[in-house]
Copies of this chain bind each other. A is one copy, B any other.
Amino acid sequence: MGRLQVIAEPGRQEVFMTRDFDAPRELVFKAYTDPQAIPQWWGRLNSTTTVDKMEVREGGRWRFVERGADGVEYGFHGVYHAIVPPERIVQTFEFEGEPGHVLLETATFEEQDGRTKLTAQSVYQSVEDRDGMVRAGMEAGANESMDRLAELLATRR
């Protein structure tokens, strides 16, 4: 099972994350677009994620609420720009704790020999926004999400 790779070049306003999964991309894409699957992998390991809204189509809105181990709730929302099964999802992302700061996220799913390489690019409105998210522990959080996703996929093969 691959590990998450995170690339955040100094002075740039983007982050690339790549991860290899031992599953065909239809399954990985489904885990990304199935409201029932989201609570099983999205967010930190010790948190609970609830799907408030998830309209998986162009112009559809999504909103997830993550409840941390400390009971504090964090809302996240955005809209889907493009849903291209099983290849690509383009969406916006806003953390409601920092309202007005928006990201453009592009998730690309590539399959080879039954395995799937996920590339997730986040483009920020500024380098400061990106650096703030990196400092806030984005990599650790993404690592936990991706590990949980890999475990979920292992049960679905």
| Interface status of A78 (Cβ within 8 A of chain B) | yes
What is the copy number of this chain in the assembly? 2
Question: Which of B13, B59, B88 contacts A79, CB < 8 Å?
Answer: B59
CA distance A103 to B102 in the complex (A): 12
A49 close to B (CB within 8 Å): no
Q: What is the CA–CA distance of A58 and B58 in the complex, to the nearest angstrom? A: 12
Cβ-defined partner of A94 (8 Å) among B12, B13, B81, B88: B81
> Which B residues are CB-close (under 8 A) to A55?
59
- Nearest-Cβ distance from residue A1 to partner chain B, whole angstroms: 28
**Chain A interface, number of residues (Cβ within 8 angstroms):** 26
Per-residue CB contact flags for chain A residues 108-128 toward chain B (1 = under 8 Å, else 0) read 000000000000010111000
CA distance A55 to B125 in the complex (A): 24
- Interface flag for A148 (CB, 8 Å): no
Residues of B within 8 A of A100 (CB): 88
Contacts A92-B104, A106-B102 known; A124 to B125 CB distance under 8 Å? Answer: no
